[in-house]
Amino acid sequence: MKSFMNKNHLESLEMIDGEMWGSYLLNKFFIKINTRKSRGDIPSYDFTTNEFSIEDQIKLQKENYPAIYHEFIHYIHEITTMAGIVPFYYTFASIVSFTACEQNEKSSDYPIEPKDLLQRIKKTNNILLALDGTKLMETENLSIIQINNFELNNFIVDLPNLESPLEIMLPVVNIQVFDKKTKSSYHREFTFGRLHIYEGLAQNIDRIVQQSFGVKPHPKRMLNFEYLFMEKIAKHIFSGIQQNHLLQIASLSLSYLNCSEYFIYFIERLKKSNNQEKELLKFKQETASLLRKQLPDFEETMTGVLNALSGRNEIQNAYGHLIDQMITGMKLRIENPVFEIDIVYSGVFNDLEKKVTMCPMMYTFNKESEDTFIRDYTGTNLENGLGGNMLILLCFIDYFKSAIANVKEHICPLYTSCNHKLRQKKGHQCKTKPRLSFEDRFNYGPCYYSAGIFSMKGY
């Protein structure tokens, strides 16, 4: 099978925010929070049972709340906005096609994908990548000195199942940047896309959360490129834009597939308006009206795709939960297209989880070696069966993406928190070839990863 993505490229598609304080695994619906502690720093931690008290769990949550909220916002945007739901749908559809490929019932070897399937997945993936904008890994060491100018370039979105290709505009921005690694400045063009809106929103929201906790956020001049790109473009167009209005427009733009084009369109309209509050209300009404028209087709389409996973009970249960969350999210945005921004500005941050249920999360204790058995702690607020099925889904998607990219060696996403006997006895295998857990399930029992492969094969 010919690979069209290398390992680094694959990793760049899956993670936003890196490992500094937290990360969200895109299309895997999983949050990782770096506690910057060892397990021994937790007073009640029991190294025999690998559990710790509710009081210490609450304390850990409070210490990391801004980071948790930042990553939760990413999850909210992935499952309640069209900018997140459309990539979800096409990844979901690709997975359904993948499960129909020729399977070796006894082996975890990657199935043989028909050439036309690989080409279709590659084409779809490249289109969605373009909508994401310049990859975050390309801007890792850069800070923005100033925006020079931008232009909107034509881009054809020719995705499967569309009645006809869409012609949209992608903003290409000329920026003077400073490279912190080489200590030099230069001018370069960057494409502004979905991930920059994700990061710009989450960064501004977690600053509001930090301030409410009496924590002084880092000065914005110290922030990396991806956190400031959205705001710099907005202020280049409209220097006097209010922060609340900026965040509302960013949230509204994510209700459109071509979110970066709409972001600029809304900013330009707001600048020309004599009554900004009235103009924002128009934006919300237009967006809600569009979503209201899309909802029936969306419900029918997603139900049909979910039925294609019939017989794969754990995966169908997990995907069914996510689709229910998406339908709920669309209805929330029909009622109030910027509901998460209004909740944040109300100061009652926990109200957000009353609207959308949090995905599974891992606390990482990075002061210890990655190879330490049960170093980290994975938990979820979901009821027990569904919580476990979401972890099976995490491994299921990991196997799918590794197969499509033809990545032979990679780490199990649950490697650092897994308490399975196989992880204890064959740790190196779990770190490099977790798919072999499928062959080992008879000797060691099923784990989340082998269960994901088992479900993928239709058992």
DSSP-derived secondary structure letter, 51: B
| pLDDT (tens digit per residue) in 230-275 | 999 999 999 999 999 999 999 999 999 999 999 999 999 999 999 9
Q: Which two tokens stand for residue 429?
A: 């295998």
* Element of type H or E holding 142: strand 142-157
Q: What is the pLDDT of residue 8?
A: 36
Q: What's the pLDDT band for 221 if we cut at 50, 70, 90?
A: confident
| pLDDT (tens digit per residue) in 401-422 | 998 888 989 999 999 999 999 9
Q: What is the pLDDT of residue 20?
A: 62
Q: Tell me the three state secondary structure of residue 159.
A: coil
Q: What is the pLDDT of residue 359?
A: 96
The answer to whether residues 384 and 360 touch, using CB atoms and an 8 Å cutoff, is no
| pLDDT (tens digit per residue) in 321-355 | 999 999 999 999 999 999 999 999 999 999 999 99
**Where are the alpha helices (H) located in 336-432, listed in sequence order?**
339-346, 351-355, 384-405, 421-425, 427-432
Q: What contacts 64, CB < 8 A, 6 or more positions away?
A: 21, 22, 33, 35, 363
| pLDDT (tens digit per residue) in 365-376 | 988 899 999 999
Is the pLDDT at 18 greater than 80? The verdict is no
Q: Which two tokens stand for residue 120?
A: 């279709």
Is the pLDDT at 7 greater than 70? The verdict is no
Q: Which two tokens stand for residue 363?
A: 């606390």
Q: What is the pLDDT of residue 285?
A: 98
One-letter identity of residue 385 = G
| pLDDT (tens digit per residue) in 292-327 | 999 999 999 888 888 888 888 999 999 999 999 999
CB atoms inside a 10 Å sphere around CB 380? 18
Kindly report the average pLDDT of the chain as a whole number. 90
Q: Tell me the three state secondary structure of residue 48.
A: coil
DSSP-derived secondary structure letter, 266: H
